[in-house]
Structure 1
Amino acid sequence: MVGYIIGGILVLIVIIIIGLILRKKIYDAVDQHESWKMDIMNRNVTGELQRVKSLNLSGETQDKFEAWKSTWDQILTRDLPDIEEYLLDAEEAADRFRISTAKKNLKEVETILQNIEELIEKMFKELDDLLDSEKQSRKQIEEIQPRIKELRHSLLQNRYLYGEAEPKFEAQIIELQQLLERYQEEVEQGNYYEAKDLVVQLTDSVDEVAEKLEEFPVIYKKCKTELPDQIKDLLAGINQMKDEGYRIEHLGLEKELNNYLDQLAVSVKQLEDLEMYHVYELIQAIEDRLTEVYEMLEEEAKAKSYIESHINSVKSTLASAITDFKETNEEVDLLQQTYYLEENDLELYANLDKWIHQLEKQIAQIELDLESESQTYVTLKNQLKSTKDDLEQLHHSHKEFKEQLQTIRKDEIEAREKVVNLKRQLFDTNKKLQNSNLPGVPSYLWNLVDEATDRSDAVIEKLEKQPLDMGEVMHALSEAENTVNTLVNQSDAMIEQAYLVERVIQYANRYRSKYPLLATKLQEAETKFRNYEYEQALDTAANALEEIEPGALLRLKEFVDITT
């Protein structure tokens, strides 16, 4: 029982402590909000608002000032006293430990104070905007006023450059002056925002008029004199070129250029009404087109000069090519009686013939077009240049073909010389075998001699064949050369082996009496030597000697090489 009483007392004490802590927080919050309220009351808002009196206090400026003053008065007379009431109610609620009620009052106070801060900030921002607007507008007007005077002075001084458009420019400058006067009126009436809008409008208008005044004389002069004069000169040049025989009638340039003259006359009227901007594109288009026409006519003149300078030389070159090809034709006929021409050679020859006939047709067509005047000189120049290039390529291909024909004859002569050389090699090799002082020559070498002789004779037979097929000749010659080379190499190798066997046996005889096994091997090697088996004899004798005296074979080889 006592425990429950003590527990209840402790709980009560805790509740009282918590209540005291919460009440203390309420008191602190009341003090903070009171300080915030006093800070707002002590601000020099009225002094800040007095800055607007530097402006003309009338019109919208007067309305703004009255609205700001009324807002501040309401804050001082209504909102701040209401805050005081809420703070007192919060303190009383805290005294009675009505914490939630106190917090509600404090929340209301905070909302009111926050709204007051936003209102003050908004007033100061509007005030700064108004003052800045007036300052910026005044600065811009100070720059615009002399510009309007300069525009008027420039127009009066150069009015002859503007023709019939001068009164309209004068009217636009007067409108600028009127906008300036309206600005002054708005400022005097305190309507600074209206004045600011007028400054923006006035700045754009001054820039636009200044741009027109600067660009108009150039465009006006182009439309009225420069481009028309240029077009007329071009028309005169076109007529002169026609008289000189140029083929430009079908281009329709006169109609196009006269149409430009009409458009420029209309553009002059439009410029005098200050309708400038769509004229820019027309001028640019005309200038670009005139440049194209000048380039076109210049190319036509160059083309005519090119044709006159090259037509005869191209015709002469073609005539020479035809004559030269006739000689080649005769040469081909003779060669075909003697030689067998490959299919690709005959095909190349036929293509050259077709090529020449095609070029003849091209030149004939160019001359026909020159007489009928159905093509421009530029077109004919391109055709003639193409024909000229084809002639150069034809000359190159023809030259290669003639060199190919010469190669056929050259190959025949070289083949005959090689056969003679092969025959000489066969004779020398046969003589070398017969004079070798050997017991005999292996049969495979005599067979190779017969084969090499037959292959050499086959080359001679093909060289005597009519018509001569150099493909077959070269193939037979290649086989004969391979066989003769094999014969020469194997004959030399066989003779060298035979000499080396003799030398090895002679050298090894010094050991014959001391080494019976060596004597037996040497007897075997001698038997093989007499049977023309020189390679086997060398292997037998050399192996036996190396067992007795290592390295002897190498020394003997060097000696044989020196002596042979």
Structure 2
Amino acid sequence: MAYIIGIILIIIALIIAGLILRKRIYDEVDRLEAWKMDIMNRNIASEISRIKNLNLSGETQEKFESWRERWELIVTKELPDIEEYLFDSEAAADRYRFSKAKKMLRKTEEVLQSIEDEIEKMLAELNELMESEESSRKEIEQIQPTIKALRKQLSQNRYQYGNAEEYYDSEIDGMEKQLTQYNELVGSGNYSDARHLVEELKQDLDNLQTQMEDFPALYTACKNDLPQQLNELLNGLKGMKDDGYRVEHFGFEKEIHKYQHRLKDCVSALDQGEEELAKEMKNEIEERMAEMYQLLEKEAVARNYMENKIPVYREELETLENDFLITKEEVDELQKAYYFEDSDMEKYLVLDKAIGQLKKQLHMINDEMEQEMETSHSKLRSELENGFQQVEELQKQHDDFRKQIKNLRKDEVTAKEKLADMKDDLYQINRRLSKSNIPGVPGFIWTLMEDASNKNVRVLDVLDKQPLDITEVQKALSDAESSVNQVAEQTDMVLDQAYLTEQVIQYANRYRSQYPVLSAKLSESERLFRSYEYELALEQAAKAVEEVEPGALKRIEEYQAAN
């Protein structure tokens, strides 16, 4: 029983699946049928008939016949064939031959898509042709009056175009021939060729308009203005030469003559309608003339500068030379009393040589200005400006050198004053030691004082030398100063140690009766004190009192410092 039910269910499932697949086939047939009817209902023939508004001949006739025949083939053959395919697909679906039905539907869709592509291509070509015709017609309507205007402009202003009038006449004639050719192409239905011709004609017309607008000014510049300007520049050069300006080295005359000949070639080129060469030459000449005027102006300014500044430069150089002569006399005198370092003498000799070279340079500049040599004023100005800078720099170096030699005497006076101060310092130290209540002065203090005294004598000996070597004086002075400072430091230390030792012993005496060991150490400290061994005496006394009363030494030191 279950087996039978299973079979029944399978059969029912197959029937349902078949119905679903057949329904899908029917739906696809309906879709393709609607697509086919949409194509049939389109007014393609009416669209194609729009071309009849044009001249049906030549290329246009060929396209019209091609599109019409193709549309008739679609309507009479291909679309009816599609109807048969759709009918066969439904029949196959009714017999549950779904694979065959799907294959036929795919083929039908491919045919319909091919028809759609062809229709789209036909309409695109049609629209392009119609738009091309309309666009060309409108542009021709604008081109015709423009050509007439150019003809009128040339006729009314022939004097502005000179011999180039024939060239422009010929160009305009050519454009009018192109208009005639355009009408012939349109009349024969060749609208594509007509379109290309219009685009070419429009470009040529734009170029011709630009040329005719630029030509009068360019022609006038090359034929009249620039030759006149070159003549004026040439006359100006001659005038400057007559006035003494040095302009030969520029070579402008030869260059101007070359430009004059080239301008004649430019005019000949313009007569043939060749403007590019003339434009380039015009710009080149204008730029070069501007450069020439700048150089000539620079030369004129340089000459004026030289005439005004040479006296100023001569005066500054003479002032420097006179100041240096005074310095030279001072150096000759000082060399008798002072020793000059090699570096100082080198600076002196460099100054002397540099001033001499500037004098030679000034003499050369004067000769070139007076004898009208070939050297340009611009170059001479550069040399003179450099000379001003050198004079300024040498003046600074001279001032520094003078300060340096003046310091020789100042250093000698300072050294003598310092030597007197150090002698007084030693006297005060000796007096301080004599007035102190210490038992005596340690021997090393007397040795240091003797050494300091000897070094002071050494300073005095160096100061008495002729010529005086300040460097040697300063070294001897530094050595003596170090020795005097050492005597002062050691003396202060000895006196401080002696006074502190007395204070410590006096403070520790309060414990002498109680601590025998302390008493013995204090006695040793007193012995050392009387033997001038103040450092050892302080060490012995401090150690003794610290053992009895820690911190006592610090309090004693603070008390001594406060008093």
Note whether the superposition's TM-score is higher than 0.5.
yes
Q: Which deviates the most, 6-15 or 104-113?
A: 6-15
- Shift in Å at residue 316 of structure 1? 3.8
- Shift in Å at residue 276 of structure 1? 0.7
Q: Which deviates the most, 127-136 or 177-186?
A: 177-186
The equivalences for 1:48-127 within 5 A come to 48-90=47-89, 104-127=103-126
- Shift in Å at residue 95 of structure 1? 6.0
Q: Which deviates the most, 14-23 or 549-558?
A: 14-23
SS at match of 1:247: coil
Residue 475 of structure 2 corresponds to: 475
TM-score, scaled to structure 1: 0.88
Q: Which deviates the most, 158-167 or 290-299?
A: 158-167
How far apart, in 2, do the equivalents of 1:405 and 1:288 lie?
59
Question: Residues 124-179 of structure 1: CA distance to partner in whole angstroms, max 9, x if unpaired?
Answer: 11122123323433443454455445545554555543334345435444544554
2:360 counterpart letter in structure 1: K
Residue 499 of structure 1 corresponds to: 499
Residue 487 of structure 1 corresponds to: 487
Distance 1:134 1:518, change over 3 A: farther
1:137 counterpart letter in structure 2: S
SS at match of 1:441: coil
- Shift in Å at residue 450 of structure 1? 1.4
- Shift in Å at residue 102 of structure 1? 5.0
- Shift in Å at residue 121 of structure 1? 0.9
Question: Residues 328-375 of structure 1: CA distance to partner in whole angstroms, max 9, x if unpaired?
Answer: 334333333332222222222232233233333333333343425131
Residue 446 of structure 1 corresponds to: 446
- Shift in Å at residue 449 of structure 1? 0.9
Question: Residues 270-329 of structure 1: CA distance to partner in whole angstroms, max 9, x if unpaired?
Answer: 223321111111111111111111111111111211222222333343344444434433
Distance 1:507 1:168, change over 3 A: same
2:249/2:374 contact within 8 Å kept: no
2:376 counterpart letter in structure 1: T
2:267/2:278 contact within 8 Å kept: no
How far apart, in 2, do the equivalents of 1:547 and 1:49 lie?
137
Residue 338 of structure 1 corresponds to: 337
The total of aligned residue pairs comes to: 562
Residue 263 of structure 1 corresponds to: 262
Question: Residues 39-68 of structure 1: CA distance to partner in whole angstroms, max 9, x if unpaired?
Answer: 322222223323434545554333322221
TM-score, scaled to structure 2: 0.88
How far apart, in 1, do the equivalents of 2:483 and 2:385 lie?
56
How far apart, in 1, do the equivalents of 2:457 and 2:466 lie?
16
How far apart, in 1, do the equivalents of 2:96 and 2:494 lie?
138
Residue 427 of structure 2 corresponds to: 427
Q: Which deviates the most, 196-205 or 428-437?
A: 196-205
2:419/2:459 contact within 8 Å kept: yes
RMSD of Structure 2 on Structure 1 (CA): 3.5
SS at match of 1:473: helix
Question: Residues 448-495 of structure 1: CA distance to partner in whole angstroms, max 9, x if unpaired?
Answer: 111211222222222222332222222221121112112112212222
- Shift in Å at residue 559 of structure 1? 4.3
- Shift in Å at residue 514 of structure 1? 4.5
Q: Which deviates the most, 144-153 or 262-271?
A: 144-153
How far apart, in 2, do the equivalents of 1:403 and 1:310 lie?
30
Q: Which deviates the most, 380-389 or 92-101?
A: 92-101
Gaps of 5+ in 2: none
Residue 222 of structure 1 corresponds to: 221
Residue 392 of structure 1 corresponds to: 392
- Shift in Å at residue 32 of structure 1? 4.1
Q: Which deviates the most, 530-539 or 156-165?
A: 156-165
Q: Which deviates the most, 301-310 or 102-111?
A: 102-111
SS at match of 1:162: helix
Q: Which deviates the most, 506-515 or 218-227?
A: 506-515
Residue 312 of structure 2 corresponds to: 313
Gaps of 5+ in 1: none
Question: Residues 509-561 of structure 1: CA distance to partner in whole angstroms, max 9, x if unpaired?
Answer: 34444455544443333233222232333344345445656665455444434
Distance 1:203 1:461, change over 3 A: same
SS at match of 1:373: coil
Residue 414 of structure 1 corresponds to: 414
Residue 283 of structure 1 corresponds to: 282
Distance 1:144 1:535, change over 3 A: farther
The equivalences for 1:17-416 within 5 A come to 29-90=28-89, 104-145=103-144, 147-148=146-147, 150-152=149-151, 154-155=153-154, 158-180=157-179, 182-187=181-186, 189-370=188-369, 371=371, 373-416=373-416
Q: Which deviates the most, 53-62 or 21-30?
A: 21-30
How far apart, in 1, do the equivalents of 2:136 and 2:350 lie?
88
